[in-house]
A and B are shown apart, each in its own frame.
Chain A
Amino acid sequence: NAGVIQTPRHKVTGKGQEATLWCEPISGHSAVFWYRQTIVQGLEFLTYFRNQAPIDDSGMPKERFSAQMPNQSHSTLKIQSTQPQDSAVYLCASSLVSYAEQFFGPGTRLTVL
C-alpha cells in the first residue's frame, strides 16, 4: 500500500498561469479530501468527494479554483490564473468511508512567483 500519492511534489508557476495538482487516493477508499496548508492560515479544508461525486466545496475559493474526480483512482485540483496568495502546500487525503480516519498524502508545494 503506497498510501495517498500526490504529484507533482513541487510546482512553481508565474502569476496568471494555471496549475493542476493530482491526487491518487488509497485503493478502495471512497472519500477524497483536499486541504491547504499555509503558515498564516494553518490547515484549511477545501473540498471533498464521495464515490467520485462532489459533496462539499465550502472551503474552495469561488473563483479560479476547481476540483474534479473523473474516476475512483484520481482527483485533480485546478487553479486558474494563479496569484502569489495561492502559494501553499496542497494536501490530499482519503478515507475508507466519509466519516472515518483520514490518511494524507505528502502534499504539493505550490509557489506562485
Chain B
Amino acid sequence: GQQVQQSPASLVLQEGENAELQCNFSSTATRLQWFYQHPGGRLVSLFYNPSGTKHTGRLTSTTVTNERRSSLHISSSQTTDSGTYFCAIDHNAGAKLTFGGGTRLTVRP
C-alpha cells in the first residue's frame, strides 16, 4: 500500500481563507520534509520537521512522529500560495525520501 498518503488531493480556497494539509505515513520515519512546487517549478523545501511544530511566516508544520502524521497549516492564503504541496519521509530511516501524491492548492482572488 501507499507509504505516504496526503489529503486532500486537491483544495480550492478563496484568498484569505486558511488551509490544513494532512500527511499520514505507514512506516517509522525519522525525517519528514514538506515541499512546495509551482507548476513547472522546482521543489522548494518548506520545512524539515521530524517532530514537533515549526513556523515560518504564514506556514506552520506540526509532526507527531509516533502517530505517523504531519500537517501543514497555511493561514490567510494568497493567490501566490497556489501550487502543489508534497510531504516526504525517510521510509524505514533510509537516506532516500518517499513522497506522497501531493495536495494541489488553488487560491482564487
Chain A partners chain B: yes
A107 touches B33 (CB 8 A): no
A44 to B42, CA, bound (A): 15
Identify 24 residue pairs between A and B in the complex whose beta-carbon atoms are under 8 Å apart, listed by A's number.
A33-B96, A33-B97, A42-B99, A42-B101, A42-B102, A43-B99, A45-B96, A45-B97, A45-B98, A56-B94, A59-B96, A91-B42, A98-B95, A99-B31, A99-B90, A100-B31, A100-B48, A101-B45, A102-B97, A103-B45, A104-B35, A104-B45, A105-B42, A106-B42
B14 within 8 A of A: no
A56 to B97, CA, bound (A): 12
A55 within 8 A of B: yes
State the Cβ distance, A12 to closest chain B Cβ, in Å.
Answer: 16
A90 within 8 A of B: no
B43 touches A104 (CB 8 A): yes
A33 to B43, CA, bound (A): 13
Per the 8 Å Cβ criterion, residues 35-75 of A in contact with B are 35, 42-45, 48, 50, 55-56, 59
B30 within 8 A of A: yes
B1 within 8 A of A: no
B45 touches A102 (CB 8 A): yes
The residues of A with any CB-CB pair to B shorter than 8 Å are: 31, 33, 35, 42-45, 48, 50, 55-56, 59, 91, 93, 98-107
A-side contacts of B90, CB under 8 Å: 99
Per the 8 Å Cβ criterion, residues 44-97 of B in contact with A are 44-45, 48, 86, 88, 90, 93-97
B-side contacts of A107, CB under 8 Å: 42
B-side contacts of A50, CB under 8 Å: 95
Per the 8 Å Cβ criterion, residues 21-51 of B in contact with A are 30-31, 33, 35, 41-45, 48
A-side contacts of B88, CB under 8 Å: 43
State the Cβ distance, A40 to closest chain B Cβ, in Å.
Answer: 11
